């Protein structure tokens, strides 16, 4: 595949690995946080850690949109389908995130079962709720157009990358005059999450989380540009290197970070210059600010309530805001007491430090959100990296007990 | 009573007609559907017995039986349809146990409203696949459900075969040192379905690999290689099938990413949809675990067969108390190749 294989080349990886080995100082360790789940996934899938010297540590950050969604937000989506009887459209990953009462979107849909779908298929006017998985948000709009008798709600999650498509969707719905389409907006902002990490007592006060720099977001930065990170580099004296999601991007960014740390610098550098500029995508930014405004406060899983850290739909587009249309409010729900997702999201703990990792909590039966998405730190470690812990002599999981089918 | 022709029944309208509830009622309409559609295409002496079952001769050996339900959506896709898929899939399940497939049974669940033209096309495709494989459909059943209670047609096929004494290709026979061979490029069936569903247009469309593998398996057996295990990596793909074998045999496996045969179009479509070809379903491929000293002879025998031309040695079996399947990535690192989690592509076969 052209323009893809080049960024996964083993020969170049070996060259970069040698350069990193040469660059690291023998008298110190390096700890870098990869903010994005996309980086976490690439590191695990291509085995990047195997190519790094033992003194370079990668800490998984909170940049997995599914992982930072609190239980109460999934509950809202379920209530929309079950109580308000809407057709809720969701991306695939949120479908399996555990919610209250032992439910998830996928389990809630199974419970809604035949009533909703059979009635819908028969063209009944009194249709029950339904939860659908989709690949493209545009499918939700098409569904609303095809079924004027049903209320269609798009469960919009994600950082700045997925926000412009949602904004576009709302504008299209307005232009079409659709009265049966709305959005449950759960879009969150990257700089707030980074600030929260840097302000956390583990980093600022106690210093228990050593953090020498950030591998900055790839896709998010195509929208917001590199400028928003300049504050972090300057104020907190932490270097940031924006990196693409291919494994060579990650290796190159690590080398750049090591050089900055060795030189005592704290700059924003852009490794992903093939897609990211300093100012980002102005058109997308303008579209977003036209449709959305800052929420005063938003609850994140693991990071808690963060001021001005998420978006809500502006008053001008209130008709398309599911929270207003169906009067569903957010209710905070405590995480499972043994689940360490919060600490994992802050980088304070590694997945394998959690007591229930790989035993009670597995991708088949996730307890916490980090075990759900392939970009989640726990799922990535479970799926791709367990042998590292296993070769230390620690059994981190049992083979899942599944029936063998022909 | 003039004008009434004795015994005349108006033929089924295979061009504009549709399945209705009477076609599953057990009455005359059902008899007509069987006569003019199923028997017409699938006809053979055993089916011609017109009993509720079939009586067939049985060669010596141990009996092998396998059954498989088919619910694929869409019913027609590049490279095949639910009809030929339901024949090939079950033949493969019988053949990977080392058996010679002999007979098939087919159960149809039809949804009210299914165009008879579609049904005829599907049954004709089954007949074509069964003829090509030399395995007749000897008995069957038809039921009709109301509109909305099914999705066009579901087909369950059961295959019967015989395996000679001494032939044993069970999944618990992989031993450390054994080599792992795949019979060709992976992920084509799943991506053909997915590309069709998602409306992905490629210059060269991805075509399902659906095929009956008993001929290839016969050639492999004839090579005399010490084959431990054969399995067709359908749902869950190569990754999940190897995990099944690793667990059954109590061993670990190490794959080489660079050795995995993947068509460029499939790799591109997987990249686009965020899927991994290792987890995408195949319908005309098999995995073989073979004794190390026979690996190259077996590979040569497979490559000499039309369905094994792109066969490749992709890894080896080793000792591992955790029964992990791992892979050396092309990038130079190592990773686990885990069981498939959740449902990657629903209704793929």
Q: Determine whether the interchain pair A49/B333 forms a contact, defined as Cβ–Cβ distance below 8 Å.
A: yes
Q: Determine whether the interchain pair A1/B264 forms a contact, defined as Cβ–Cβ distance below 8 Å.
A: yes
pLDDT band at B49, cuts 50/70/90?
A: confident
The phi, psi pair for B307, rounded to 5°, reads: -90, 5
Specify the CATH number of the domain B179-336: 3.90.650.10
Over residues B178-198, the mean pLDDT reads 94
Largest CA-CA distance found in chain B, in angstroms, rounded: 86
Question: How confident is the model at residue A404, as a pLDDT?
Answer: 31
Q: What is the 3-state secondary structure (H, E, C) of B16-72?
A: CCECCHHHHCCCHHHHHHHHHHHHHHHCCCCHHHCCCCCCCCCCCCEEEEEEEEECC
Instruction: Give A229-239 pLDDT, tens digit per residue.
Output: 999 999 999 99
Minimal-distance CA residue of chain B relative to A6: B331
C-beta separation of A99 from A401 below 8 A: no
Q: Determine whether the interchain pair B333/A48 forms a contact, defined as Cβ–Cβ distance below 8 Å.
A: yes
Q: Determine whether the interchain pair B331/A121 forms a contact, defined as Cβ–Cβ distance below 8 Å.
A: no
Minimal-distance CA residue of chain B relative to A404: B244
pLDDT band at A392, cuts 50/70/90?
A: very low
Residue linked to tokens 């949120």: A94
Q: How high is the ipTM of this complex?
A: 0.79
Tell me the C-alpha distance between A306 and A301, whole Å.
10
Q: Determine whether the interchain pair B341/A363 forms a contact, defined as Cβ–Cβ distance below 8 Å.
A: yes
pTM (global) more than 0.90: no
Neighbours of A245 (CB within 10 A): 17
Specify the CATH number of the domain B21-163: 3.30.1330.10
Mean pLDDT (chain B) is 93
Question: How confident is the model at residue A401, as a pLDDT?
Answer: 31
Tell me the C-alpha distance between A330 and A74, whole Å.
10
The region of weakest confidence among A12-21, A129-138, B119-128, B192-201 is: B192-201
Question: How confident is the model at residue A207, as a pLDDT?
Answer: 79
Q: How far is CA A250 from the centre of its chain?
A: 18
**Nearest residue to B133 (alpha-carbon basis) of B106, B103, B96:** B103
Minimal-distance CA residue of chain A relative to B258: A10
- The answer on pLDDT for B17 being more than 70 is yes
Domain ranges within chain B, ordered by starting residue: 21-163, 179-336
Q: Determine whether the interchain pair A8/B264 forms a contact, defined as Cβ–Cβ distance below 8 Å.
A: no
CB pairs under 8 A between A and B: 90
Find all residues with CB under 8 Å of B128, minimum gap 6, and list them: B84
**Chain B interface includes A308 (CB < 8 A):** no
Question: How confident is the model at residue A406, as a pLDDT?
Answer: 31
Instruction: Give B78-90 pLDDT, tens digit per residue.
Output: 999 999 999 999 9
Please report the domains of chain A, with CATH numbers, ordered by start residue: 71-189+280-325 (3.40.50.11740)
């Amino acid at each position: 595949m052209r323009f893809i294989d080049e960024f996964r080349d083993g020969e170049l990886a070996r060259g970069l690995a040698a350069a990193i080995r040469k660059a690291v100082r023998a008298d110190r360790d390096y700890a870098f946080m990869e903010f994005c789940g996309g980086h976490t996934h690439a590191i695990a899938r291509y085995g990047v850690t195997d190519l790094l010297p033992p003194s370079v540590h990668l800490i998984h950050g909170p940049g997995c949109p599914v992982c930072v969604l609190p239980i109460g937000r999934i509950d809202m989506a379920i209530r929309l389908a079950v109580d308000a009887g809407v057709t809720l459209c969701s991306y695939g990953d949120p479908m399996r995130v555990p919610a209250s009462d032992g439910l998830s979107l996928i389990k809630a849909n199974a419970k809604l079962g035949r009533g909703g779908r059979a009635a819908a298929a028969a063209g009944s006017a009194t249709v029950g709720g339904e939860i659908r998985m989709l690949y493209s948000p545009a499918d939700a709009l098409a569904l609303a157009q095809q079924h004027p008798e049903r209320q269609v709600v798009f469960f919009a999650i994600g950082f700045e990358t997925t926000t412009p498509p949602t904004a576009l969707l709302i504008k299209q719905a307005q232009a079409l005059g659709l009265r049966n389409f709305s959005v449950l907006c759960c879009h969150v902002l990257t700089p707030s999450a980074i600030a929260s990490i840097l302000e956390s007592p583990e980093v600022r006060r106690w210093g228990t989380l050593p953090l020498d720099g950030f591998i900055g977001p790839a896709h998010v930065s195509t929208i917001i540009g590199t400028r928003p990170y300049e504050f972090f580099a300057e104020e907190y004296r932490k270097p940031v290197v924006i990196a693409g999601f291919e494994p060579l991007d990650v290796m190159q960014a690590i080398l750049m970070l090591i050089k900055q740390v060795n030189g005592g610098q704290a700059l924003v550098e852009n490794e992903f210059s093939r897609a990211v500029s300093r100012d980002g995508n102005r058109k997308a930014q303008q579209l977003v600010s036209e449709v959305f405004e800052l929420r005063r406060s938003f609850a994140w899983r693991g990071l808690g309530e963060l001021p001005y850290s998420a978006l809500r739909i502006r008053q001008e587009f209130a008709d398309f805001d599911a929270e207003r249309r169906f009067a569903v409010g957010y209710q905070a729900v405590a995480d499972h007491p043994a689940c360490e997702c919060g600490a994992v999201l802050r980088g304070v703990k590694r997945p394998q430090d959690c007591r229930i990792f790989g035993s009670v909590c597995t991708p088949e039966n996730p307890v916490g959100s980090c075990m759900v998405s392939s970009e989640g730190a726990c799922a990535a470690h479970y799926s791709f990296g367990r042998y590292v812990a296993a070769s230390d002599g620690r059994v981190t999981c049992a083979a899942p007990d599944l029936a063998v089918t022909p | 009573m003039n004008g009434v022709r004795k015994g005349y029944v108006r033929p089924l309208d295979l061009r504009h007609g549709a399945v209705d509830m009477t076609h599953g009622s057990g009455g005359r309409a059902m008899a007509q559907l069987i006569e003019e559609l199923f028997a017409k295409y699938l006809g053979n002496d055993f089916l011609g017995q017109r009993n509720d079952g079939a009586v067939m001769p049985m060669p010596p050996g141990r009996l092998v039986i396998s059954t498989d339900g088919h619910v694929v959506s869409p019913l027609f896709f590049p490279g095949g349809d639910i009809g030929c898929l339901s024949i090939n899939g079950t033949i493969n399940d019988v053949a990977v146990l080392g058996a010679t497939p002999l007979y098939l049974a087919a159960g149809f669940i039809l949804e009210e409203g299914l165009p008879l033209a579609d049904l005829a096309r599907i049954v004709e495709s089954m007949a074509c696949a069964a003829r090509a494989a030399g395995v007749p459909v000897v008995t069957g059943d038809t039921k009709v459900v109301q509109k909305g209670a099914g999705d066009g047609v579901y087909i369950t096929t059961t295959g019967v075969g015989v395996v000679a004494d001494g032939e044993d290709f069970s999944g618990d026979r992989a031993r450390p040192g054994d080599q792992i061979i795949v019979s060709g490029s992976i992920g084509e069936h799943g991506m053909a379905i997915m590309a069709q569903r998602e409306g992905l247009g490629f210059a060269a469309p991805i075509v399902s690999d659906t095929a009956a593998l008993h001929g290839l398996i016969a050639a492999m057996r004839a090579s005399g290689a010490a084959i431990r295990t054969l399995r067709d990596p359908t749902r869950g793909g190569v990754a999940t099938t190897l995990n099944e074998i690793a667990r059954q045999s109590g061993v670990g496996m190490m794959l080489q990413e660079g050795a995995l045969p993947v068509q460029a179009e499939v790799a591109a479509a997987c990249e686009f949809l965020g899927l991994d070809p290792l987890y995408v379903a195949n319908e005309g491929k098999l995995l073989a675990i073979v004794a190390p000293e026979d690996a190259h002879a077996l590979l040569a025998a497979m490559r000499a067969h039309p369905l094994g031309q792109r066969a490749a040695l992709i890894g080896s079996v080793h000792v591992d108390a955790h029964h992990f399947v791992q892979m050396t990535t092309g990038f130079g690192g190592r990773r686990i190749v885990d069981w498939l989690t959740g449902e990657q592509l629903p209704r793929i076969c």
